[in-house]
Every structure is written in C-alpha cells, then in structure tokens.
Amino acid sequence: MHFGNDSILGKAMGIIPSIKFELLKINKVYFDFQIGFGAAYLNKKYDKISNPLNNAIGSHWNNITQFAVAMERQVYKDCHITVGAHFTHFSNARTASPNAGINTTGLTFGIIQKLCEKKENSAEDFVKDSTTMKRRWGGDFLGGWGISEYSFTGGSKYSTFFINSGVSYAFSPFIKLILGLEYEYNQSVYQFYYQDFIPAEEAKQKATKIASYLAGDLVFGRVVFRAQTGFYLPYPELREKTTPYYIKLNINVYPFPNHWKVRPYVGILLKSHVEIAQYMGLVSGVSF
C-alpha cells in the first residue's frame, strides 16, 4: 500500500488473512462483507533525527485490521470479478510510540480464480461437531497479558494483566454472545502517576480498572473471531479518567475437538479507547 507521501509515511507491504461472508445473492451477483487481521512492514517510521514529522507510526512492523464490502460476479466457470470498498487500519498497538496509527479508505478491484470448490457441509454435520445446539448456556474465563510502551518515544515497556469471567449464550454453532466482568491492572498507568509524586496506593487504584463487557464470537471451526466492548464501572474510587468504554478484537484458537464440553483456547488481541490503542495482548482461556 502506498500512503501518498514517500518521504514521511512511505509504503507498507503485508498480508491479511480474511474471512468473507455472503450477505446477499442475486442471480450470479454476490454481495459480500469481509474482515481480516494481519501484519505489515512499513518502510518509514518516526525518527527524531531523520523522520521527525512522522507522528503516526513508531515501528516498522504493524498490525493490519481491514473491513471491506464487495460485489462479486461470476464471469466464466470458477472465475469471478469483484469491486468494492475498504477501510484499513495500521497500528502497532502502542508497543512503540508514537502510535496514532494510519487509516486508509479506498476502492478495490480484483479477479478471483477459485481452484477447487469445497463441498458444503450439511446442517447435520455442523451439529455433530458442536455442543452449542444442545447446550446453549455456558461460561467463559480467560486471563491475559498485554504490553505497551510508555507515553514518550523510546520509553520503557510495561505490562498489563487482566482477567475476564462471563456467561455465554450460543444462538447457533457459529454465533455466541458473552456477558461478564473484567479486572485489569496497568503498570504503565501506575508508573505515570507514581513518578508524578502520587502515593503508591493511590497510583495502584488509578492503574486498576473494573468493567462490565459484552463480547460476540464468530465461530469458524477451531478459529474464533471475538469483538468485545467494555464499560468501566465506578470502582475503585480513585480510578483513572478515560473514555467510559473500550474495544477489543481477538483471534482465539481452540486446539482440541469441538465436541469437548470444556474447551481451552489461546489467542491474541488488540485493545483501544476509541481510536487510541492501549496495548497488544496474549490470552489463554477456557469455554464451558
């Protein structure tokens, strides 16, 4: 991707594994929605000597998140053409400063050649490989660790620890909602206030967040995309002043068979307050 400013923002090259959903089909025309998460190398980043005007990205390696809509039409056998639009976000999840991120929108055009058509599974096959239709109510518990750089470029990197516990309800083998509570402790926030001569106990309270959250899982076999939003509760009393809610995007992998009643998983996530990234994290949890 070319950002239109070679000397400051440069270019990006990466890969975005994606999943596409068919929204509507009219004759041979498909209307699709696509979501993808990947990684990219940007050849220009902030440098206080050689590139001080780049206040968007502080590292070469970055995450890519992309949302796209497209219209696709079969033109010959397994050959399709597609046109659409996309929104793409580049960010290092505040693992390096600065990290305002780069957002791009644009139009797309492509040719798709399908090499082999996979036989569609029947509804009976999906039910055999899932317990969600027989047991809609369940639970979800996870613990995680995140990392972010201090608020200035080249600063120390600090950890964030969080625990989630929630009740889940499966609408189908592919869609599940989770409602729960989250506890988070952010070492970077603690250091920010403690170094500003606030007593340690008060700084610990400001570094602690308790939130209620709502998450939605899109299940694709053993890979699950999770979108989560949380709303901070008025505890502790000396909590940090932030936006009232946050957003998290997860990719979780379930390594064991779907028919297990207790299913461990591991994953990676990004957390942000609106457009401002907070950290990148690793999670380990269990659904039951």
Sorted by where each starts, the structural domains of the chain and their CATH numbers stand as 12-113 (no CATH), 123-287 (2.40.160)
Tokens representing 240 are 């940090």
Rounded to 10 degrees, what is the CA torsion of 189, 150, 276, 160? -50
The neighbour count for residue 62, using CB atoms within 10 Å, is: 25
- Phi first, then psi: give them for residue 134, nearest 5 degrees: -85, -30
pLDDT in tens, 133-168: 567 999 999 999 999 887 667 678 899 999 999 999
| Whole-number average pLDDT of the chain | 89
| Secondary structure letter of residue 59 according to DSSP | -
Question: pLDDT higher for 97 or 205?
Answer: 205
**Is the CB of residue 120 less than 8 Å from the CB of residue 160?**
no
> Per-residue pLDDT averaged across 115-134, rounded?
57
Tokens representing 43 are 């050849």
Residue among 235, 217, 236 at smallest CA distance from 226? 217
Strands 245-253 and 223-232: antiparallel
| Secondary structure letter of residue 122 according to DSSP | P
**Is the CB of residue 161 less than 8 Å from the CB of residue 145?**
yes
Cα 103 to the center of its chain, rounded Å: 15
Question: pLDDT higher for 225 or 276?
Answer: 225
Confidence of residue 259 (pLDDT cuts 50, 70, 90): confident
**Is the CB of residue 230 less than 8 Å from the CB of residue 249?**
no
pLDDT, residue 257, reads 85
Confidence of residue 118 (pLDDT cuts 50, 70, 90): low
> Per-residue pLDDT averaged across 58-76, rounded?
92
CA distance 65 to 278: 15
pTM, two decimals, is 0.77
